[in-house]
Amino acid sequence: MKIALFATCIVDAMYPRVAQATVQILERLGHEVVFPAGQACCGQMHLNSGYFREALPVVENHVRAFEGGFDSGEYDVAVAPSGSCVASVKHQHSMVARWAEERGVRRAGGGSGATLEARANAVGERTYELSQLLTDVLGITDASAQLGSYLPGTITYHPSCHGMRLLRLGDRPLSLLRTVEALDVVALPEAEQCCGFGGTFSVKNADVSSAMLADKVDSICATGASACAGGDVSCLMHIGGGLSREGRTSADGTPVRTVHLAEVLASTREDPLRFDGELALAGGAR
Amino acid sequence: MSGTSAREEILARVREALGQTGGEPRGDEPGDAAGGPCAYRAASGLDEDALVELLVDRLVDYKARVEVVEPDRLAEAIRTRLEGKRFVVPEGLPAAWLDPSLEESKVTDSREARIGVELLDELDAVVTSSAVSIAETGTIVLDGSPDQGRRAISLVPDHHVCVVPVETIVGIVPEGFTRLDATRPLTLISGPSATSDIELERVEGVHGPRTLDVLIVR
Amino acid sequence: MTAVSLGMPALPPRGFGNISAVEPFPDAAHRELGNAQLRANLAHATHTIRDKRLRVVSELPDWEALRDAGSAIKAEAMSRLPELLAQFEEQFTARGGKVHWARDASEANRIAEELIRATGSQDVVKVKSMATQEIGLNEYLEARGISAFETDLAELIVQLGHDKPSHILVPAIHRNRTEIRDIFLREMPDVDPELTDEPRRLAMAARAHLRKKFLSAKVAISGANFGIAETGTLGVVESEGNGRMCVTLPETLITIMGIEKVLPRAQDLEVFMQLLPRSSTGERMNPYTSLWTGATPGDGPQNVHVILLDNGRTRALADRHGRSALHCIRCSACMNVCPVYERTGGHAYGSTYPGPIGAILSPLLTGVEAEENASLPYASSLCGACFDACPVKINIPEILVYLRGEDVEAKHGRGQAAGPNDGSPRKGSGRRRGLPTQMDVAMGAASWALTSGNRLGLLEKGLPVARALAGRDRKISRLPGLAAGWTQSRDVPAPPPESFRNWWKKRERGAADDHTDSGGTR
Ligand code: SF4
């Protein structure tokens, strides 16, 4: 299968290794990965902050960057290692297109004459979150056997809200993690509680966001795990930033860090992901 | 000032508010999603044994006192509950339900001959029948029929002895409403009054009767 | 008071009363977050109700179907509102009741006052009603020499404590038992001075305190959970029996009901009487529900009134993206699952309507451009827990985002391009214009950068410099401006030496070492 990678802006600029891990997993399965060069961002930060006018060109750019490859058969599906970005592509892009049309902000038609709403829907329908693609499309049920995933250690998992409630990912990410060889996955108390990130909520309502973060950090540390996995780097950056600020350490005295699902699945016996990163943050690169 | 002008103006505003968007809700608006045909349960399909068992379970859960009695033992069951108490009954309560020994301590009320609220407050108990009971939610409904009386009599006395004929028990809420006439004064009772307003700790018995005694007649 | 000429394409006027934030949400939240007792009480309360709700909801095999039905009935009621209101009036009147209409809070207060004066009574008993809180009825009557006694235990605690409710279901949730005992000792004239803080003893003290009031009251004021158009029936859902007392014993009963509370058919109760108790108190059924239709000869109040209240509801109705907020049945489930509400409590929202629903309903009632409520739609991380919990499926997160958009538009004085059929409430007065904020500038710049892969790629060339700035510990602990909100409690990781885009390009070009050893850059 030919798969277009939507890296998402934050992974592209801040967490390239998450996209690299995604490429590794897919290539290991024998699929061909394409990176549409025009891509930049899904626009959810603008949208969720109410800046619809500013979001519109970002959304148009995304649709333009991806639709051609679907049409020409260059790839069959698109995947992003982010629940919230996929949720935005699937649910919000058509909404902002409709908004722009109602307001007469811009008559946005494609070369084909289709409305932006229709074009956005077409792209959204074929865009998957990573665990969704692996489970529903590629039929992965055993990460160890099918992907060679191997990672010694203990981790816990935080289901980010948009993946959980907008995409209804359900058990998919956890089922994948549970089949990683040598990995002990411990349940996170109050897992479905929001971590408090919420995009610009984290700066506009910094106090409430910080209070939510403090509770999430406590829950994670109560598990004794050395890392918290997740499917959304924005939440992971927020949680990781809190863990780092508070200097939280796990049972073995190392800093508790955050890690993306893709990184865990890409980890193999030959080249295992190491939890001795430079920081308790999932950011940066080695 | 509450005349037609406010009425006309509000109705005009509503029409205008709807008119701006064509009145009918659009399917693609938040929350406007059409529910389609009613897919919720219309009936429970439980038999009489199951209905009685479920109702008893729910009432006990609400801390009501419950007993299932045979028809010819009802008067006796009522008598034991009213021993030494002064009580009120609605005019239409079947005479056979009350043991003659209770005659002295009984006060009868009707819509036409209402007893005062001060007297009601001095009485210890009330005996009524009931219109419908919903097993799944442990709900007993009074509808103001002559054997249930005015709403005040089942409210002010502190002890409510309530008779539930088995044929009035239904399984779930929709079956209950099917049997009820909304234009009658209806009171749905699910256990004794209760509050959880202080640190969410449930306390049974606030303003309504603090003791609910249910006699299921079967 | 309004000067809307009928038939003109103007928006309905805004609502007034206790439906506005008094200060920006972040400021209020900051203060409330500092109250440790409040946070502990709230966490306990919300978690307890949350668990109970989940338990009783999971018992019903058809819960989702009931939610769909509830949502559909409400949408139908809104779309048929003029007809249903007229039908309700006709039925209620035919059965001996009297219907009044109030355009706004002050008109409703005036009508209620006149009705009370006509009875010659100087005091009234009240059963918990959000509508009367919204219009500030107690304060209004108080100022005119009429005492209104709250009879719901929590409302009584709030009233005696000269306080404001913080939750729509358990309004005194911010008070613990010791605080409540102290309030009772101070404010109840005939209270037992030995009163302990045991909840049962406190409840019995309230019973004794209110008993005389109930038995002697001539006038009661209530809200209504439902009004049935088909039959003219009103309903009050409650627990303690104070509602039954109020709607049964006094000679005069005045009900104040928002126009959105009307349901088409009596049969619709079978849906809402399943949705409401389970969603609100987490019970299979609440202890008491009273339904009455006009006046019943010989039984209960004979002088029965209902005041149908607009106060901004038509304003909200005119907003097709926001109107489903009017479907709310005030169960409070959205509050109990909300991570923001759990930490700030209800007072931070200012309005009578707190929590997620308040964050959309208050601005919709006052008009989105009303400055005082502009911060409310941002009081959410958009986690979506409210939408999942809502028994009538109000998509609160989507409406929050939409209202943020309206706020940004209003702030910039935009929206001139809107067509004549645009349902937006921005038209008319109150549009704010201002200099660009830091957020505006950041959003504008980000929009430019994120509108093309090339632009983003160009900017990413600066990553090594930023990485160097982060220093040896590879983290950034303090940022200026808006971003200071971020670094208040979180570090920022040092950026990577190169972007994914760059890495990919090199790999595509056949930079062999990267290609064969992609793990090395992970
Ligand atoms: S918005 Fe929904 S969940 Fe919140 S109070 Fe209203 S009905 Fe309940």
Q: Which residue, judged by its Cα, is nearest atom 6 of ligand 1?
A: C328
Q: Is residue A162 part of a domain?
A: yes
Contact C19 CB / ligand 1 (< 6 Å)? no
Tokens of A174: 């956890």
**Rounded average pLDDT over A225-229:** 94
Strands A77-80 and A2-5: parallel
Q: Report CB contact under 8 Å: B9, C2.
A: yes
For residues B166 and B129, the answer to whether their CB atoms sit within 8 Å is: no
Residues A248 and A200 in one domain: yes
Q: Report CB contact under 8 Å: C215, B118.
A: yes
| Position A275 pLDDT exceeds 50 | yes
Among A72, A99, A133, identify where a domain stops. A133
What is the percent of chain C with per-residue pLDDT over 70, rounded to a whole number?
A: 92
Residues A106 and A195 in one domain: no
3-state DSSP helix/strand/coil percent for chain A, to nearest 5? Answer: 50, 15, 35
For residues C244 and C66, the answer to whether their CB atoms sit within 8 Å is: no
Tokens of B36: 């389609």
Q: What is the CATH number of the domain that holds A158?
A: 3.40.50
Query: How much is the pLDDT for B4?
Result: 60
Q: How many domains does chain A have?
A: 2
Query: How much is the pLDDT for C511?
Result: 53
Place of tokens 């308790």: A280
Binned at pLDDT 50, 70 and 90, residue C395 comes out as very high
Mean pLDDT of chain B: 89
Listed range (A130-134, B168-172, C36-40) with the worst mean pLDDT: C36-40
Q: Report CB contact under 8 Å: A51, C26.
A: no
Residues 311-370 of C with CB under 8 A from A: 339-340, 343-344
**Rounded average pLDDT over A13-20:** 94
Most C-contacting residue of B28, B40, B114, B181 (CB-CB within 10 A), to test interface: B40
pLDDT tens digit string along B184-199? Answer: 999 999 988 888 888 8
Contact C295 CB / ligand 1 (< 6 Å)? no
Query: How many interchain CB pairs under 8 A, B with C?
Result: 304
Most B-contacting residue of C155, C212, C314, C329 (CB-CB within 10 A), to test interface: C314
Residues 411-440 of C with CB under 8 A from A: 414-415, 417-419, 422, 424, 439
Distances (CA, A) of B121 to A11, A195, C218, C349: 72, 54, 17, 42
Query: How much is the pLDDT for A11?
Result: 95
Dihedrals phi, psi of C33, to nearest 5 degrees: -65, -25
Tokens of B4: 């037609």
Domains (ranges, CATH) in chain C? 3-314 (3.40.50.10420), 455-517 (no CATH)
Name the amino acid, one letter, at B206.
V
Binned at pLDDT 50, 70 and 90, residue A53 comes out as very high
| Position C421 pLDDT exceeds 60 | no
Say which residue, B4 or A238, is predicted with more confidence: A238
For residues C475 and A284, the answer to whether their CB atoms sit within 8 Å is: no
Tokens of C44: 């306990």
Query: How much is the pLDDT for A281?
Result: 42
Say which residue, C428 or B151, is predicted with more confidence: B151
| Position A283 pLDDT exceeds 70 | no
Contact C276 CB / ligand 1 (< 6 Å)? no
Residues A158 and A265 in one domain: yes
* Domain ranges within chain B, ordered by starting residue: 1-39, 48-217
Residue in chain C nearest B188 by alpha carbon: C289
pLDDT tens digit string along C328-351? Answer: 999 999 999 999 999 999 889 988
Residues A30 and A108 in one domain: yes
Of C73, C281, C300, the CB nearest to B151: C300
The contacts of residue C98 (CB under 8 Å, 6+ apart) are C92, C304, C305, C306
Distance CA C268, CA C287 (A): 20
Chain C environment of B29 (Cβ under 8 Å): 320-321, 323-324
Among A133, A161, A188, identify where a domain stops. A133
Binned at pLDDT 50, 70 and 90, residue C468 comes out as confident
C126 CA from centroid of ligand 1 (Å): 23
Reported ipTM: the value is 0.93
Q: Report CB contact under 8 Å: C394, B30.
A: yes
**Rounded average pLDDT over A31-36:** 96
Tokens of C408: 């940004």
Contact C336 CB / ligand 1 (< 6 Å)? no
Q: Report CB contact under 8 Å: C288, B208.
A: yes
Among C418, A58, C68, A110, CA closest to B27 = C68
Binned at pLDDT 50, 70 and 90, residue C89 comes out as very high
Q: Is residue A285 part of a domain?
A: no
Rounded to a whole number, what is the distance in Å from the CA of C490 to chain A's nearest CA? Answer: 4
Q: Is residue A286 part of a domain?
A: no
For residues A212 and A140, the answer to whether their CB atoms sit within 8 Å is: no
Among A133, A161, A183, identify where a domain stops. A133
Among A276, A267, A269, CA closest to A21 = A267
Binned at pLDDT 50, 70 and 90, residue C473 comes out as confident
Residues A174 and A108 in one domain: no
Q: Is residue A238 part of a domain?
A: yes
| Position C520 pLDDT exceeds 50 | no
Distance CA C391, CA C67 (A): 5
Binned at pLDDT 50, 70 and 90, residue A252 comes out as confident
Residues A104 and A152 in one domain: no
Site to probe by mutation for ligand 1, drawn from C50, C261, C357 as the one with most ligand atoms within 8 Å of Cβ, is: C357
Of B6, B184, B198, the CB nearest to C199: B198
Residues A127 and A248 in one domain: no
Distance CA A219, CA A190 (A): 7
Tokens of B177: 């409403």
Structural domain span for residue A221: 140-279
Q: Which residue, judged by its Cα, is nearest atom 2 of ligand 1?
A: C390
Distance CA A164, CA A131 (A): 12
Listed range (A263-277, B75-89, C2-16, C40-54) with the worst mean pLDDT: C2-16
pLDDT tens digit string along A159-202? Answer: 999 999 999 999 999 999 999 999 999 999 999 999 999 999 99
Residues A6 and A88 in one domain: yes
Q: Neighbouring chains of C at 3+ CB pairs within 8 Å? A: A, B
Of C381, C439, C459, the CB nearest to A209: C381
Q: Is residue A39 part of a domain?
A: yes
Among A263, A277, A233, CA closest to A22 = A263
Domain B48-217: CATH class, spelled out: alpha beta
Contact C330 CB / ligand 1 (< 6 Å)? yes
Distance CA C336, CA A84 (A): 24
pLDDT tens digit string along C164-206? Answer: 887 777 788 788 888 999 999 999 988 888 999 999 999 999 8
Say which residue, C218 or C4, is predicted with more confidence: C218
DSSP chain B: --SHHHHHHHHHHHHHHHHTTTSSPPTTSTT-----S--S-S-----HHHHHHHHHHHHHHTT-EEEEE-GGGHHHHHHHHHTT--EEEETTS-GGGS-GGGGGGEEEE-SSSPPPHHHHHH--EEEE--SEEETTTTEEEE---TTT--GGGGTSSSEEEEEEEGGGEESSHHHHHHH--TTS-EEEE-SS-EE-TTTT--EE-SSS-SEEEEEEE-
> Three-class SS string for C286-354?
CCEEEEEECCECCECCCEEEEEEECCCHHHHHCCCCCHHHHHCCCCCHHHHHCHHHHHHCCHHHCCCCC
Query: How much is the pLDDT for B20?
Result: 53
For residues A69 and A34, the answer to whether their CB atoms sit within 8 Å is: yes
Q: Report CB contact under 8 Å: A58, C447.
A: yes
Tokens of A79: 């995947």
Contact C77 CB / ligand 1 (< 6 Å)? no
Report DSSP state, residue C416: T
Strands A150-157 and A181-186: parallel
Query: How much is the pLDDT for B30?
Result: 36
Mean pLDDT of chain C: 88
**Rounded average pLDDT over C16-40:** 88
pTM recorded for the entire structure: 0.92
Chain A environment of C419 (Cβ under 8 Å): 102-104
Query: How much is the pLDDT for A112?
Result: 59
Query: How much is the pLDDT for A247?
Result: 87
For residues A92 and A124, the answer to whether their CB atoms sit within 8 Å is: no
Among C281, A106, A142, C328, CA closest to B30 = C328
Strands B203-204 and B194-195: antiparallel
Q: Is residue A70 part of a domain?
A: yes
Query: How much is the pLDDT for B199?
Result: 81
C395 and chain B in contact, CB less than 8 A: yes
Binned at pLDDT 50, 70 and 90, residue C442 comes out as confident
Residues A127 and A172 in one domain: no
Query: How much is the pLDDT for A111?
Result: 52
Residues A169 and A267 in one domain: yes
Q: What are residue A153's DSSP bridge partners? A: A183
Burial class (CB in 10 A: 0-12, 13-18, 19+), B194: buried
Q: Is residue A284 part of a domain?
A: no
Among C257, C321, C265, C281, CA closest to C127 = C257
